[in-house]
């Protein structure tokens, strides 16, 4: 009787564990997908940043060449224009880099948040599973103990009962036997069992 | 002496069977109209007490046919004796069988006899089967009931 209880308890515990592991795996996969998507996005943003820098640099060089080759501007005006273009390019590049850095920072924070969230959920699931299994195991142990205590109690009472019979059977004298038979017959008269 | 008095002398099944056998032998002998042979059968088939009862039963009857009728009447009455089955934990002595027989004849009438068997497993007391009723008055049953009733109390002592 006890073996099936253990068997079904193990089956139940393994089933619970399997469900929890399945859930954790799904959660992990979802978070890893997000993580890879964020990494891809960051790589893509960095590529755009590099390209933008290249374009700005190329535009600035091109503008400087145009200004240098122009004949309508005085040297001073050319110098001023070139300085303005350099400043403008530099400011644009800085602003762009700043925005890009902010984006990267947000992406990193988001990723870190996702990972922390996953970690917290994982810990919560593990803790819940542990508690559930512990509670189930405690319940099974209590049931197992109860059955065994009942068996032990019954066995002990049976032993005492058999011992009592054994002792009584040997201790009663013939005259006691005879008196007891008459006594129970007399007693039965009062209860009208016949 | 009436046949009822004769029947009241029968206490056990063994006595009843032996009594019936003796009467059947007498019935067979009564047809021979041989008083000596009849007396021999009577002596061989019954103990002194039972032989005395039969002699009283047929006293003064000269006709073999009337003796035969009287014995057949007695046999008919014997066959109507009710059996009380008793199970005891010990082999009873003759004095106790008589005590028991007296008790049951007082309770259920003279027309009863005991069929006693022994089983030490009942520990003491008796189990009675009478007219389809089964009454367990054994010590084993009383002990079992005690253990059932006091199960928790006994358990708490462990």
B107 neighbors B133 (Cβ within 8 angstroms): no
Q: Which residues does chain A have within 8 Å of residue B128's beta carbon, measured at their own beta carbons?
A: 185, 188, 194
Q: Which of A98-102, B4-8, B96-100, B125-129 shows the lowest per-residue confidence on average (mean pLDDT)?
A: B4-8
- Token duo for residue B73: 């009447």
Say what the pLDDT of residue B1 is: 42
Say what the pLDDT of residue B128 is: 95
Angle between helix A2-69 and helix A75-171 axes, rounded to 10 deg: 180
Angle between helix B13-30 and helix B64-79 axes, rounded to 10 deg: 160
DSSP state of B32: T
- Token duo for residue A141: 């142990």
Q: Which residues does chain B have within 8 Å of residue A176's beta carbon, measured at their own beta carbons?
A: 124
Adjacency order of strands within the sheet including B125-130:
B112-118, B82-88, B125-130, B133-138
State the Cα–Cα distance between residues B7 and B2, nearest whole angstrom. Answer: 9
Q: Where are the domains of chain B?
A: 3-79, 83-149
Summarize the confidence of residues A153-160 as an average pLDDT: 81
Burial class (CB in 10 A: 0-12, 13-18, 19+), A109: exposed
- For B48-104, how does the pLDDT look when each residue is reduced to its tens digit (9 = 90+)? 877 887 877 777 777 778 888 888 888 888 888 889 999 999 999 999 999 999 999
Residues 6+ apart with CB under 8 A from B88: A177, A181, B116, B117, B118, B119, B122, B126
DSSP string across B74-119: HHHHHHTPEEEEEEESSPPPHHHHHHHHHHHHHHH-SSEEEEEEE-
- Token duo for residue B32: 């021979």
Which one of A89-93, A186-190, B127-131 scores highest in mean pLDDT?
Answer: B127-131
Residue A155 binned pLDDT confidence (cut-offs 50, 70, 90):
confident
Beta bridge partners of B83: B113
**Nearest C-alpha of chain B: how many angstroms from A130?**
37
- Token duo for residue A75: 């040297």
Greatest Cα pair distance in chain B: 79
For A158, the closest chain B residue by CA position comes to: B147
Residue A26 binned pLDDT confidence (cut-offs 50, 70, 90):
confident
Q: Which member of A156, A177, A189 has the closest CB to residue B89?
A: A177
- Token duo for residue B128: 């009675």
For B131, the closest chain A residue by CA position comes to: A194
Q: Do A164 and B143 touch (CB under 8 A)?
A: yes
Beta bridge partners of B135: B128
Q: Which residues does chain B have within 8 Å of residue A169's beta carbon, measured at their own beta carbons?
A: 89, 120, 123
For B94, the closest chain A residue by CA position comes to: A178
Q: Is the pTM of this model over 0.80?
A: no
Residue with tokens 């497993």: B121
Q: Do A161 and B147 touch (CB under 8 A)?
A: yes
Contacts by A162-170 with C-beta closer than 8 Å and gap 24+?
A164/B143, A165/B123, A165/B140, A165/B143, A168/B123, A168/B124, A168/B139, A168/B143, A169/B89, A169/B120, A169/B123
State the Cα–Cα distance between residues A111 and B146, nearest whole angstrom. Answer: 75
Residue B141 binned pLDDT confidence (cut-offs 50, 70, 90):
very high
B52 neighbors B37 (Cβ within 8 angstroms): no
């Amino acid at each position: 009787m006890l073996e099936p209880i253990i068997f079904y308890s193990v089956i139940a515990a393994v089933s619970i564990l399997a469900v929890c592991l399945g859930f954790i795996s799904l959660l992990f996969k979802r978070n890893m997908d997000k993580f890879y998507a964020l990494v891809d996005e960051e790589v893509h943003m960095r590529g755009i940043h590099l390209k933008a820098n290249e374009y700005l640099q190329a535009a600035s060089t091109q503008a400087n060449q145009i200004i240098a080759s122009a004949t309508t501007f005085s040297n001073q005006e050319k110098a001023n224009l070139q300085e303005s273009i350099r400043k403008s390019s530099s400011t644009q590049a800085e602003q762009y880099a700043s925005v890009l850095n902010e984006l990267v920072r947000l992406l990193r924070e988001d990723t870190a948040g996702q990972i922390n969230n996953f970690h917290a959920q994982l810990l919560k699931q593990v803790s819940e599973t542990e508690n559930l299994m512990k509670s189930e195991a405690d319940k099974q142990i209590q049931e197992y103990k109860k059955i065994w205590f009942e068996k032990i109690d019954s066995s002990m009472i049976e032993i005492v009962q058999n011992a009592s019979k054994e002792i009584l059977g040997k201790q009663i004298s013939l005259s006691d036997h005879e008196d007891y038979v008459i006594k129970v017959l007399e007693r039965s008269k009062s209860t009208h069992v016949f | 002496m009436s046949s009822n008095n004769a029947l009241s002398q029968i206490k056990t099944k063994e006595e009843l069977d032996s009594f019936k056998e003796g009467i059947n032998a007498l019935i067979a002998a009564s047809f021979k109209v041989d008083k000596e042979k009849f007396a021999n059968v009577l002596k061989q088939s019954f103990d002194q007490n039972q032989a005395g009862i039969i002699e009283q039963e047929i006293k003064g009857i000269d006709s073999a046919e009337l003796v035969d009728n009287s014995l057949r009447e007695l046999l008919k009455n014997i066959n109507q004796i009710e059996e009380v089955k008793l199970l005891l934990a010990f082999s009873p002595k003759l004095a106790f069988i008589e005590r028991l027989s007296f008790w049951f004849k007082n309770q259920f009438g003279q027309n009863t006899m005991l069929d006693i068997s022994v089983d030490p497993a009942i520990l003491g007391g008796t189990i009675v089967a009478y007219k389809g009723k089964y009454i367990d008055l054994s010590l084993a049953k009383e002990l079992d009931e005690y253990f059932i009733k006091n199960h928790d109390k006994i358990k708490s002592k462990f």
